[in-house]
C-alpha cells in the first residue's frame, strides 16, 4: 500500500485535478456584512488551533450570536469553548460556523492575536461560504436526539456521520474542513488506524495539501443528535490504494482518495457547546440568510481584479443562476 501513498502536490493534482482558479475568488480577507449576520444567528462552531507542528480541535457554542464578528476581528468568548486552553496568542485558527437548517457553512481562518477579558480575538485572514455537501450527506439537520452513551470508541466511530478535520501547514496556517457521510461510511477504526474517504467538495483541497507537507491532524467526530464527541489526534497520509478506497464506495461510486490516520489518540467526551447550542430536534430553519447570494457577494468583494474575477462576478450576478448551480451540484455530485 505504501506505493500508492500520495506524497506530493503534483501526485495529488494528478488524481483529483488542479483547483480551478475561480474557486479562490469566493474567499475574502474580512468579515463582510453577510458574514457578520451569519455569526449573529449561529449557535455552533468547530475550531482548530495550530502552531505549525501540532494541531487541536474543539467546539464552541451557545445562544445564537455567541461569537461576535467585526470586519477584521472575530471575538470568541472563552466560556463558549469546550477547551478554552487551546486559544493561545500566535496560534493559527480555522473554523466552521453552522446555521440550523442551512447546509452551507461559514468558514473563517486567521490567527489568534490576544486573549483577554474572557475572550480570544482572532485576526481574520480568510472568510468564505462552504458548500452544503457534508451536511447533506450526514443528514445533519434531520437528526433526532440520540440518548445512547457509548463507552466503546469503535462502536461510536461506526455510527458517526460528521467530522470536523483540522490540519495545518508548516507556518501554522490552519484549516477546518467539514466531512459528512452515512453511518458506516464516514470513518472506520481498524487495527489502531482510522480511515475516511475523500468526497466531492469545493475542490480547494486545503486539508490534503496540508497533510502532504505537515501530516499531524486533529478531528472531532459526531453522531448528529448526540452531544457525545470523539476527539482524535494522529498522523495522516493519503492513499490511492484501490482496496482502501473500495471500502468507502457509496451509491456505486468509489472515492478517488482515502486518508489513513496512524498513531491515533482517541478520546470520547461530551460537548458542552453542543448541549448549549440545542441543535436537535431542529425546530426552525434560520431565516434571512441567503448562501447563494453570499457566494456572489464574496466574489465581487474579492481583491482579485483580473479578467477571470470580472467574468465570474458578471456570470454570478445573473439572478438565480448561482442557486440553480448549487442545487444541481448537490443533486448530481454528492459522490
Distance of alpha carbon 8 from alpha carbon 13, whole angstroms = 9
0.85 surpassed by pTM = yes
Q: pLDDT-based confidence at 19, cuts 50/70/90?
A: confident
User: In this structure, are residues 84 and 76 in contact, taking their beta carbons and an 8 Å threshold?
Assistant: no
Predicted local confidence at residue 311, as pLDDT:
52
Q: Of 176, 178, 35, 24, whose CA–CA distance to 109 is shortest?
A: 176
Q: What is the pLDDT of residues 48-69, one digit of tens each?
A: 999 988 999 999 999 999 999 9
Q: pLDDT-based confidence at 155, cuts 50/70/90?
A: very high
Q: Of 18, 19, 22, whose CA–CA distance to 310 is shortest?
A: 22
Q: pLDDT-based confidence at 316, cuts 50/70/90?
A: low
The residue whose grid cell reads 489518540 is 265
Beta-carbon count within 10 A of 34 CB: 21
Record the cell numbers describing residue 224, joined without a space: 448528529
Compute the average pLDDT of residues 20-34: 87
Helices (H), 186-320: 206-213, 242-246, 272-277, 291-301, 307-316
DSSP type of residue 225:
T
CA count, 13 A, side-chain hemisphere, 250: 21
Burial of 192 (0-12, 13-18, 19+ CB in 10 A): exposed
Q: pLDDT-based confidence at 17, cuts 50/70/90?
A: confident
Predicted local confidence at residue 210, as pLDDT:
95
Domains of the chain: 2-16+24-332 (2.30.110.10)
51-78: string of b/e by CB count within 10 Å (b at 16+)?
Answer: ebeebbbbbbbbebebbbbeeebbebbb
Residue 72 CB partners (closer than 8 Å, separation 6+): 30, 31, 123, 124
**Rounded to a whole number, what is the distance in angstroms from the first to the last CA of the chain?**
24
Residue 278 has pLDDT above 60, yes or no: yes
Beta-carbon count within 10 A of 9 CB: 14
Predicted local confidence at residue 300, as pLDDT:
80
**Chain-centroid distance, C-alpha 259:** 16
Amino acid at each position: 500500500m505504501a506505493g500508492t501513498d500520495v506524497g506530493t502536490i503534483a501526485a495529488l493534482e494528478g488524481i483529483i485535478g488542479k483547483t480551478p482558479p475561480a474557486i479562490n475568488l469566493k474567499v475574502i480577507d474580512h468579515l463582510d456584512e453577510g458574514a457578520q449576520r451569519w455569526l449573529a444567528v449561529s449557535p455552533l462552531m468547530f475550531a482548530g488551533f495550530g502552531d505549525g507542528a501540532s494541531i487541536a480541535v474543539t467546539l464552541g457554542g451557545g445562544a445564537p450570536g455567541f461569537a461576535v464578528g467585526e470586519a477584521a476581528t472575530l471575538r470568541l468568548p472563552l466560556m463558549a469553548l469546550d477547551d478554552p486552553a487551546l486559544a493561545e496568542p500566535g496560534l493559527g485558527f480555522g473554523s466552521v460556523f453552522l446555521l440550523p437548517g442551512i447546509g452551507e457553512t461559514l468558514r473563517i481562518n486567521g490567527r489568534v492575536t490576544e486573549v483577554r477579558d474572557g475572550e480570544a480575538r482572532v485576526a481574520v485572514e480568510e472568510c468564505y461560504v462552504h458548500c452544503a455537501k457534508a451536511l447533506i450527506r450526514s443528514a445533519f439537520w434531520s437528526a433526532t436526539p440520540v440518548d445512547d452513551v457509548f463507552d466503546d470508541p469503535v462502536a461510536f466511530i461506526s455510527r458517526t456521520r460528521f467530522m470536523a478535520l483540522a490540519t495545518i501547514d508548516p507556518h501554522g496556517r490552519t484549516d477546518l474542513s467539514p466531512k459528512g457521510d452515512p453511518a458506516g461510511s464516514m470513518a472506520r477504526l481498524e487495527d489502531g488506524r482510522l480511515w475516511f474517504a475523500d468526497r466531492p467538495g469545493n475542490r480547494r483541497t486545503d486539508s490534503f495539501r496540508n497533510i502532504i507537507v505537515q501530516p499531524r491532524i486533529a478531528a472531532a467526530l459526531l453522531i448528529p443528535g448526540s452531544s457525545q464527541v470523539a476527539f482524535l489526534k494522529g498522523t495522516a497520509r493519503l492513499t490511492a490504494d484501490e482496496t482502501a478506497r473500495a471500502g468507502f464506495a457509496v451509491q456505486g461510486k468509489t472515492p478517488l482518495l482515502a486518508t489513513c490516520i496512524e498513531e491515533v489518540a482517541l478520546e470520547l467526551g461530551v460537548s458542552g457547546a453542543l448541549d448549549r447550542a440545542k441543535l436537535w430536534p431542529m425546530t426552525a430553519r434560520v431565516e434571512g440568510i441567503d448562501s447563494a447570494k453570499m457566494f456572489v457577494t464574496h466574489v465581487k468583494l474579492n481583491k482579485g481584479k483580473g479578467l477571470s474575477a470580472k467574468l465570474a462576478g458578471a456570470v454570478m450576478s445573473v439572478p438565480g443562476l448561482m442557486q440553480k448551480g448549487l442545487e444541481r451540484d448537490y443533486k448530481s455530485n454528492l459522490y
